[in-house]
Structure 1
Amino acid sequence: MGCCFSDVRGGQEAVGGTQQRPIGGVGVGGGGGNNGGHNDAVDLFFRARGQHALFSQIELSLSASKLRDRDIMSKSDPMAVVYLRKGDGMLEELGRTEVILNSLDPAWIEKISLAYHFETVQHLVFHVYDVDTKYHKVPVKTLKLKDQEFLGEASCVLSEIVTKQSRSLTLSLHNKNLQVGVRNLGTLTVRAEESVASRTAVEIIFRCSQLGNKDMFSKSDPFLRISRVVESGGSLPICKTEVINNNLNPSWRPLCLSMQQFGSKENPLVIECFDFDTSGNHALIGKLQKSMADLEKLHKGRNGANFTLPSSHHGHEKVLKSQLFVDQFCEKQQHSFLDYISSGFELSFMVAVDFTASNGNPRNPDSLHYIDPSGRYNSYQQAIMEVGEVIQFYDSDRRFTAWGFGGRTYDGTVSHCFNLNGSPDGYEVEGVEGIMAAYAGALHNVSMAGPTLFGQVINRAAQIAGKSLSYNHSKYYVLLIITDGVLTDEQETVDALVRASDLPLSILIVGVGGADFTQMEVGVYRRLKLFWRSFLDNS
């Protein structure tokens, strides 16, 4: 099970952030939905923890059929241009194919590369042009598109392509901006392939010997930070190890680095060893620069590399006795999210909405549940749309589960897991629009009550995920809990999370409004940590 909390204390567990699955709430403000740009809430979540959102590098292959013939003495000479429609509606050009001469059924060789972000709805636009003969020797990148004959356009969402088992989608070409004119402009087929490089990963075990002691009354508490050298000459941190306390000859847990992180095997990496300090002022023990290829050679030769420190002599480095060893270097191909999707796996969306009294009267404009007549989303609507719009492309029937909790329901009793649509039997609704409609309807029929309890909702979601698993259904469930208040049933929630931990279920907790969610995040995290520590000690 995936969850969303983190070590907000910034302690030793937080140092190795890339090694841990994030757990925790992401605050979402009011306003309209996010259409086409990055998901700001997801980006903020990763940036706040010193991490980068995951992505896959995709290559698009294009072909067309039955294009219009715009040349008199020969056939059209087509070229395709691919754009990404940004959040403000503007088009950002991603790339162009080559020109294929005299063809109404071109299959272009030039591929268009882009990053596929699961958490973002990426709108693609395709334009096809007939390139004038006098421009055939001009590089395609410098061609002025206004001087070429427009043959048609098509558009789709990237998720619509990658969720097909064939990873291909055929689109009808039409006039620009759907202008009236010739209807049959041919078709464009787009195929997405994941870059092989994005699948490559290296698992490494680092060990150090004779590290310098930076502590007065004990030994150093070392950890490694690895950074990639970028073209500007600076460095970009890509991962950190865990901290090993009171040890000058540490051996760390395996690190798994993807090629997306280190770039290539020849790309220089800066490896720094620090003595951990709770203040955040970590003391540098030593550093060195090696490429991934160099690290592989160290492993094969069973050799160590000496750390250095800046010396008092300008431009010189002091070579230390401290050494870095590579005890394991293993290349492997990783299965990606897209591999599971193309194999038939689906995501199923569940949402649970907080109806406790602290949200305020929905008729009051100050309420978090207030429905603005202008159509501007409140915080609950925004959270539903931002998550739901992404996940809906990965569920074939688009039937989603919608619950409420902490409200006085249709029969007058307070419920901590009730069907949002008011039905006594069915909790599913049709698509994200169905969730929004059920939510709006519930605001008229459900009274705000309390307290804030998550346990029953999580147990219900786990029951559905467990049943699906027992039937061997290829489904993974994502439960979105949207709340405005501090959790009341902390221990019951932790117990529910533990019971659900081996199920195909991820839980996202989104906090809205002005409440301080730090106590809930830290409290649940600590209880989970204590449980797993006890479990491991007794296993």
Structure 2
Amino acid sequence: MSASNLLDLDVTSKSDPMVVVYAKKSDGKLEELGRTEVILNSLNPVWIEKVSIAYQFEMVQPLIFHVYDVDTKYHNVPVKTLNLRDQEFLGKGSCGLSEIVTKQTRSLTLNLMNKNWHGGMRKFGTLTVRAEETIASRSAVEIKFRCSHLENKDLFSKSDPFLRISRIVESGGSIPICKTEVVDNNLNPTWKPVCLSMQQFGSKDTPLVFECFDFNSNGDHVLIGKIQKSVADLEKLYKERSGVNFVFPTSRQGHEKVLKGQLFVDQLFEKEQFSFLDYISSGYELNFMVAVDFTGSNGDPRSPDSLHYIDPYGRLNSYQQAIREVGEVIQFYDDDKRFPAWGFGGRTTNGTVSHCFNLNGSASDFEVEGVEGIMGAYATALHNVSLAGPTLFGQVVNKAAEIASRSLSSSNNKYYVLLIITDGILTDLQETKDALVRASNLPLSVLIVGVGNADFKQMEILDADSGPRLESSTGRIATRDIVQFVAMREVHSGQISVVQGLLEELPGQFLSYMRSMDMKPLTFHAGQPSTS
């Protein structure tokens, strides 16, 4: 942090400023995160002491900065023990953490205010806050593994092998860091390349355990064999084009049986692996889109029992809650804050049922201004659109995919996030799968929030976290998993809401797209320091 033109409260010299940083919690209370050192006799200080904050994409993280002039008699007292009531208050500033990290300069200048000063609020200099991401290293290695002559563990077919890689820790135990996909019915499998970051494997000499398992759908996977090697050992195997034999533990302590099956390294190279914030601060944007379910099963919006009931006292219904909670987080990552907003399953003013209509009622323009614009368009649409049905996602997903696809041809730096809020069971499950598979190689993620008490099993199929990737009616497999689903009725543990829990996955989906397309941050140059 640094400041300019601070208020001078000392008579014979200049102020001796210090900054105290707070996080503003959801209940409005301030939690102190840290303090800088005191800079003597300066109205334009540059502090060295940094304050560490855990960045959480899925939350708005409001920060408050208080600047104090520390009294001379406390100059030899550790700053952490200073009683702030004994110091002169110079001013305060506030912002969200995401407002800082989305700037290309990775810094934000705040006007300091002091409402206690005689004559009311006025400016008291500026505070510049710079954020720096503490990444030890961007180094990663991409490795392609192959096995030969694995032992068969299945009775009526061949094993379905996958590799699990774990790092050995000082205590002697091991922590899993990565696993390959499952290759069905094959004793000589070749897996897709895996990428290990230096944070995961430590150093090239850190011992890693490679376990090969036969996959079983009940989760009871059978060990085929294991090997202990470091990344340095793997580099040697790759250069020498040689394999290494798996071993299998025996009942005799410390004794292992050497197996015929071998592990080979077909490909190994080092690469830079960029963080989510590397991309965002270089100019990539997240564009928010929303689609709201207007089917009849929501209930008459005039009835307090309806999922669409607008409470006259301002209590948000589930649709409003989901729009606000997702929108308020994502809006900071979108420059123009103009959001496409649609409805589906409603009978519009022309009397026809539409499965993708503009929420604002416009014939041509589907964008609204900011999160409040979505909230306003939604409330208005409830007066102008009759609830109908059935529940179809296909047209909305196709519309979002069309926008994401157009952005590729104009090479703008946007990644799209479609929020679908629904209460019902899909009528077009296969068409929706087809649309999602087609969209899986586009810069797009689909967040689905289920409201009400319907059976949401279909949504869990679309969110392929615990099952196979989506397959289209033509047999095409999704390039990557782009869907996340959560039911609003589920209680999320901890401080964050269910909907915020949904957003936790988004940076990972963004990175999976960027890495699969081999796209780098816009302004990144080799040797650039790891600031954010």
TM-score (norm 2): 0.77
Per the alignment, do residues 462 and 325 of structure 1 end up closer, same or farther by CA in structure 2, a change over 3 Å counting? closer
Q: Secondary structure at the match of 1:202?
A: strand
Please say if 1:478 is aligned against 2:395. no
Per the alignment, do residues 158 and 289 of structure 1 end up closer, same or farther by CA in structure 2, a change over 3 Å counting? farther
Please say if 1:490 is aligned against 2:429. yes
Any idea what the Cα deviations from partners look like across 1:338-372, whole Å, max 9, x if unmatched?
34434433332221111001111112222211223
Please say if 1:106 is aligned against 2:22. no
Q: Secondary structure at the match of 1:186?
A: strand
Matching residue of 2:519: none
Please say if 1:449 is aligned against 2:385. no
Matching residue of 2:96: 157
Please say if 1:328 is aligned against 2:267. yes
Matching residue of 1:24: none
Matching residue of 1:512: 451
Question: Of the candidates 97, 111, 122, which is equivalent to residue 172 of structure 1?
Answer: 111
Any idea what the Cα deviations from partners look like across 1:241-291, whole Å, max 9, x if unmatched?
112334455442210123444455566644433221121111233445555
Contact 1:353–1:380 (CA under 8 A) maintained in structure 2: yes
Which piece of structure 1 moves more, 375-384 or 147-156?
147-156
Per the alignment, do residues 328 and 534 of structure 1 end up closer, same or farther by CA in structure 2, a change over 3 Å counting? closer
Any idea what the Cα deviations from partners look like across 1:101-148, whole Å, max 9, x if unmatched?
332212223333444333322222223333445554555555555555
- Cα deviation for residue 435 of structure 1 reads 0.6
Q: How many percent identity over aligned positions?
A: 73
Contact 2:437–2:470 (CA under 8 A) maintained in structure 1: no
Matching residue of 2:475: 531
Matching residue of 2:316: 377
Q: Secondary structure at the match of 2:461?
A: helix
Distance 1:355 1:179 in 2: 54
Q: Secondary structure at the match of 2:349?
A: coil
Q: Secondary structure at the match of 2:113?
A: coil
Contact 2:249–2:255 (CA under 8 A) maintained in structure 1: yes
Per the alignment, do residues 336 and 147 of structure 1 end up closer, same or farther by CA in structure 2, a change over 3 Å counting? same
- Cα deviation for residue 504 of structure 1 reads 3.8
The letter for the 1-side match of 2:391 is T
Listed as ranges, the matches of 1:44-443 within 5 Å are 62-133=1-72, 135-137=74-76, 139-141=78-80, 145=84, 148-175=87-114, 183-197=122-136, 199-208=138-147, 211-228=150-167, 235-262=174-201, 269-287=208-226, 292=231, 295-296=234-235, 299=238, 312=251, 316=254, 318=256, 320-321=258-259, 324-443=263-382
Contact 2:140–2:196 (CA under 8 A) maintained in structure 1: yes
- Cα deviation for residue 458 of structure 1 reads 2.6
Q: Secondary structure at the match of 1:528?
A: coil
Which piece of structure 1 moves more, 74-83 or 522-531?
522-531
Contact 2:114–2:123 (CA under 8 A) maintained in structure 1: no
The letter for the 1-side match of 2:451 is V
Per the alignment, do residues 534 and 304 of structure 1 end up closer, same or farther by CA in structure 2, a change over 3 Å counting? closer
Which piece of structure 1 moves more, 233-242 or 151-160?
233-242
Any idea what the Cα deviations from partners look like across 1:38-63, whole Å, max 9, x if unmatched?
xxxxxxxxxxxxxxxxxxxxxxxx11
The letter for the 2-side match of 1:318 is E
- Cα deviation for residue 221 of structure 1 reads 2.7
Per the alignment, do residues 292 and 129 of structure 1 end up closer, same or farther by CA in structure 2, a change over 3 Å counting? farther
Aligned pairs, number:
473
Distance 1:79 1:308 in 2: 60
Instruction: Note the residue ranges of structure 2 that are not aligned, 5 or more in a row.
Output: 464-468, 480-532
RMSD: 3.5
Q: Secondary structure at the match of 2:472?
A: helix
Contact 1:480–1:508 (CA under 8 A) maintained in structure 2: yes
Which piece of structure 1 moves more, 213-222 or 118-127?
213-222
Any idea what the Cα deviations from partners look like across 1:421-451, whole Å, max 9, x if unmatched?
2233332221110111111111122211011
- Cα deviation for residue 416 of structure 1 reads 1.4
Please say if 1:464 is aligned against 2:403. yes
Which piece of structure 1 moves more, 368-377 or 142-151?
142-151
Matching residue of 1:29: none
Any idea what the Cα deviations from partners look like across 1:1-53, whole Å, max 9, x if unmatched?
xxxxxxxxxxxxxxxxxxxxxxxxxxxxxxxxxxxxxxxxxxxxxxxxxxxxx
Contact 2:68–2:89 (CA under 8 A) maintained in structure 1: yes
Contact 1:238–1:261 (CA under 8 A) maintained in structure 2: yes
Contact 1:486–1:515 (CA under 8 A) maintained in structure 2: yes
Per the alignment, do residues 94 and 224 of structure 1 end up closer, same or farther by CA in structure 2, a change over 3 Å counting? farther
- Cα deviation for residue 171 of structure 1 reads 0.3
Distance 2:17 2:199 in 1: 33
The letter for the 1-side match of 2:191 is W
- Cα deviation for residue 70 of structure 1 reads 3.9
Per the alignment, do residues 233 and 386 of structure 1 end up closer, same or farther by CA in structure 2, a change over 3 Å counting? farther
- Cα deviation for residue 299 of structure 1 reads 4.8
Distance 1:302 1:142 in 2: 61
Q: Secondary structure at the match of 1:125?
A: strand
Distance 1:268 1:176 in 2: 59
Listed as ranges, the matches of 1:6-25 within 5 Å are none
Q: Secondary structure at the match of 2:267?
A: strand
Contact 2:308–2:319 (CA under 8 A) maintained in structure 1: yes
Per the alignment, do residues 212 and 102 of structure 1 end up closer, same or farther by CA in structure 2, a change over 3 Å counting? farther
Per the alignment, do residues 135 and 225 of structure 1 end up closer, same or farther by CA in structure 2, a change over 3 Å counting? farther
Contact 1:306–1:319 (CA under 8 A) maintained in structure 2: no
